[in-house]
Amino acid sequence: MSRMMIISAAVAALGLGAYFITSPGTSVTPADPLGAANAQETEADIDTSTIAEMTLGNPDAPVTVIEYASFTCPHCASFHAGAYKQLKADYIDTGKINFVYREVYFDRYGLWASMIARCAGTPEKFFGMADLIYAGQSEWARAGEPTAIVEELRKIGRLAGLDADTMEACLQDGDNARTLVAWYQENATADGVDSTPSFVINGQKYSNMPYAEMAELIDAAAE
């Protein structure tokens, strides 16, 4: 599937919106982060500078690794359960790379998970939340109805220490949802992302790969 086809599909799916919650367990009509009225609006019409990059490691390292991933992608969950832990121990925690995580939104559930994860605030807390979201992906992403899925995400948020009011404010922030979608489109177009997980190592895009291959590419980029 081409990049533009994937982005168009994502936009169509996300047109269903971020889920607005009036109280725990009570839902109203889903919000529309893009909306029929502004369906022709491009990312250039939305200021994406308000979206914080989620980074770990050394910002001054000679190698920058960007991961593009979706919280609903099983391959991404597998990467974070295995290779990512090795990458973190070998390259992130040792300051050898600057690691950047960028969300991809192929569906509204991935957007909701992102909004909950970003609710945590700092990058360190975001990555801790991301670990929990990926670890529980097989449960929350398959919970059934949208209300059940968002409730499972709330449970993860509570486990991470978020209070109910904070989570509801994040889930109901339609402006932020629109900005996140525009930010995703902007990044995906710039880096030619057409699958997840994808990696950009010092400006060069790669598809998912074994950890040993990734380590070789990082080492070569550092030379």
Tokens matching residue 184? 């995703």
pLDDT band at 45 (very low <50, low <70, confident <90, very high): confident
DSSP label of 95: T
Tokens matching residue 21? 């919650």
Q: Give the distance from CA 172 to its chain's centroid.
A: 18
Q: Give residue-wise pLDDT tens across range 143-189.
A: 999 999 999 999 999 999 999 999 999 998 989 999 999 999 999 99
Q: Give residue-wise pLDDT tens across range 74-128.
A: 999 999 999 999 999 999 999 999 999 999 998 899 999 999 999 988 999 999 9
| Residue 132 near residue 96 (C-beta atoms within 8 A) | no
Using alpha carbons, select from 2, 19, 4, 12 the residue that is nearest to residue 172.
19
Pick the CATH number of 3-23+58-222 from 3.40.30.10, 3.55.10.10, 3.30.70.260, 3.90.950.20: 3.40.30.10
For residue 48, CA distances in Å to 114, 149, 175, 184, 185 come to: 15, 27, 11, 9, 10
This prediction has a pTM of 0.84
